[in-house]
Chain A
Amino acid sequence: MSIYLKFSGCLLAAALAAAPLAAIAEPPPTFTPATAGPKAPDPQGFLQRWLLLEPITKPNRSNTGFTGTYVRQALTTPYFPDQFGTVPRNGQTETVAGTPLTWHAVDTNLFDVKLFNFAQSLGKPTYGVIFWAVTVVDSPREMANVRLAVGSNSASMWWVNGKEAAGLFGDRRMVMDDVVSPPLTLHKGRNIVRGAVINGPGLSDFCVRFLDANGQPIRDITLTTR
């Protein structure tokens, strides 16, 4: 059992005394700064290059309150200027409720983007937060009838070229291809994918890829952050 996802005040957790441990080792990093050149998706088509904004504090003691209504309201609230507009620059700062937050252009070596680790590595809050993520997909041609396939922990919303593509509501675990969007079109050239993930307690991460009309991952695209 794991109660961290739900109850900050669970009697069980409070009663458990941590046992003596061996020397604590830092986990290996899963992120590196995004390189200058374009990046292809991984062999399964997962997008591994993102601009991530340091987490916005949004306290939630439980993830069970992530109804569609709540999440939609929480993730469409304006937090910073041009939130749904241009692609931010690496190092750009947004001020949210008086707190400066910085965009980081990163590559991940995993299929998923571990937001918890991202925040933890920066010494930022990991629980009760909203993460914003943006990537730029460069398509070699117009691709019709493709679908955005998303998994996230916990709830999230996703937009492609400014249009809402997917919403993952409720207390979500991250499962690949959990929610698949209606068919959409990737323009030839630059396409902007934008997402926001909200989490109460527990780990948070997401995985995103595009599927073609046959459900196969699309790999002949590249990713940039500009």
Chain B
Amino acid sequence: MKLFTAIGAALLLALPNAAGAQLAGEPFIHDPSTIAYSDGKYYTFGTGSGGLVSEDGWTWHRGGERPGGGVAPDIIHIGERYYVVYAVGGGGMNGGHASNVKVMWTKSLDPKSPEFGYHDVGIVASSNGKEDQDAIDPAFLLAKGHLWLSYGTYFGYIRIVELNPKTGQRVAGNKPVDVAIDMEATDLMYRDGWYYLLGTHGTCCDGPNSSYNIRVGRSRSPLGPYVDNMGVPLLKGGGKLVIAGRGRDYGPGHFGLLDLGDGVEKFSMHYESDMDRGGRSVLAISPLLWKDGWPVAGENLAPGTYEIQSERSGGALELATDFVRIAFDFRRSFSSPAGAELKPIPNQTLAQDSTMWPSGPIAVDLGDYMIRPHQQWTITPVPEAGGAFGAPYYRIGIAGTDRVLAATAENTVVAQPAFTGAAEQLWRIDQLTDGTYRIMPRQPLHSTKPVVLVAIGASSPVLEPFNPAGDSGRWTFKKP
């Protein structure tokens, strides 16, 4: 892991972020913990000392302090305390399989805070080096008042123990329970009465030859039995795929839930190899979707041209301009002379549609999608403007024009004639747990009342606080 600090950060900062799904800054880490928020910043710790810190979840820099050494920590915030768990020993050949899982706590993760300072809780789990278990890769779950800890690797069993959420110590008399094999880097979630055990299958630590991928099983009890979608027990090697490598990113592992509230869930992980960054291991954040009770990885919106469709009404976001007919004799719909040639008819062009558009700002509304240029938006990442929680800010413009969607001070939306890069022209697009998207103008991350694009009527888009209980703030992007 010394290698992680060896390459010049300046060189890496200069690398292109063409994919638009990769984090900015120097997000170099292996085995990242769950991301925790403390004192206005987001922290994650990895193997080795220290970790990464970010103010927006998009740009990450080296920062934070985690004493104790060891590998693969996790963090959980309970009350006034941030509990940090990590393992010392184990993990493999030279380290053997004898290891201790240790817990400590601090009231702040910010080393500059007067509340910062770690207090050792002690060892909460161990492997003795001979048993089929390797007590590393610990992960917390607080659910229904109980604090659970999973840990282990491919070397034998994944185990769960219970800790005291008030002290971080092992509950007296608690015995470890075997819950899985052939996994490492586990994590736990609780949702709708199900406990989810996530873990990493495949090979780590071999760059683009790493086959790491994240799998999941679920159980009604935190202690199992966990089974996958086919009913295969995780104790027999089962596990439903959550995410595998894709594009330029190889080998995802070390799941960590990042619940942003309002139905927006994301997860952190590392990719074993970011091919755009010399193949180094990097932090990544991806949307988390739920389908039929199973977590699956979502995707940041891919650049392209789309209809932006309201889940509320099915209406298409569009310039409020006069409808322009496509020249057509309606009688052709029903009949043609015998033997007539059936020639293709082109779609309406931008020039045909835009003849009467005013030169200044144009109001935006929702209408039936008619495959017209004034309804087709080109979505372009603007990574140089930053981003939030794993996604860059986007420019949303009418395809083939300079016109862009912008927020107004009156919390309406309008199409301005040109892109300036101003905050009101930058959009954050978060995929929601059902696969639809939330669209919000750039605004302070911790606004007390952030606004998003909402269809307050079948045809009327405005900016209002997001209501996760309904469809008015949900949008889908359809190929035009």
Q: Measuring CB to CB, which residues of chain A are less than 8 angstroms from any residue of chain B?
A: 1-27, 62-64, 111-112, 114, 117, 127, 151, 153, 171, 173-178, 201-203, 207
Interface residues of B in 236-262 (CB under 8 A from A): 236-238, 253-254
A124: min CB distance to chain B, Å:
15
What residues of B have a CB within 8 angstroms of the CB of A173 in the complex?
154, 182, 201-202, 237
* Alpha-carbon separation in the docked complex, A25 to B127 (Å): 10
In the complex, the answer to whether B126 meets A22 with C-beta atoms within 8 Å is yes
* Alpha-carbon separation in the docked complex, A27 to B136 (Å): 18
B74: min CB distance to chain A, Å:
12
In the complex, the answer to whether A1 meets B31 with C-beta atoms within 8 Å is yes
In the complex, the answer to whether A1 meets B184 with C-beta atoms within 8 Å is yes
A142: min CB distance to chain B, Å:
29
- Size bracket, chain B contacts: 35 or more
B129 within 8 A of A: yes
In the complex, the answer to whether A1 meets B132 with C-beta atoms within 8 Å is no
In the complex, the answer to whether B205 meets A1 with C-beta atoms within 8 Å is yes
What residues of B have a CB within 8 angstroms of the CB of A16 in the complex?
69-71, 88-91, 94-95
B72, B88, B92, B211 pick with most chain A CB within 10 angstroms = B92
Main secondary structure of the interface of A (DSSP, over half): loop
A64 and B206 in contact (CB under 8 A), knowing A13-B93, A173-B201? yes
A174 and B237 in contact (CB under 8 A), knowing A1-B205, A26-B130, A203-B156? yes
B268 within 8 A of A: no
B30 within 8 A of A: yes
Interface string of B89-123 (1 = CB under 8 A from A): 11111111111100000000000000000000001
Interface string of B66-86 (1 = CB under 8 A from A): 000111100000000000000
B203 within 8 A of A: yes
List 24 A–B pairs whose Cβ atoms lie within 8 Å, in order of A's numbering: A1-B31, A1-B47, A1-B71, A1-B91, A1-B204, A1-B205, A1-B254, A4-B95, A6-B206, A11-B2, A12-B1, A16-B91, A18-B90, A19-B88, A22-B126, A24-B98, A63-B203, A64-B203, A117-B132, A151-B237, A173-B154, A173-B201, A176-B238, A203-B132
* Alpha-carbon separation in the docked complex, A19 to B253 (Å): 26
What residues of A have a CB within 8 angstroms of the CB of B203 in the complex?
5-6, 63-64, 171
* Alpha-carbon separation in the docked complex, A6 to B207 (Å): 11
What residues of A have a CB within 8 angstroms of the CB of B182 in the complex?
153, 173-175
| Chain A: CB-nearest residue to B270 | A1
What residues of A have a CB within 8 angstroms of the CB of B202 in the complex?
171, 173
B265: min CB distance to chain A, Å:
24
In the complex, the answer to whether A10 meets B205 with C-beta atoms within 8 Å is yes
* Alpha-carbon separation in the docked complex, A178 to B96 (Å): 28
Interface string of B423-461 (1 = CB under 8 A from A): 000000000000000000000000000000000000000
* Alpha-carbon separation in the docked complex, A12 to B49 (Å): 12
What residues of B have a CB within 8 angstroms of the CB of A5 in the complex?
92, 154, 203-204
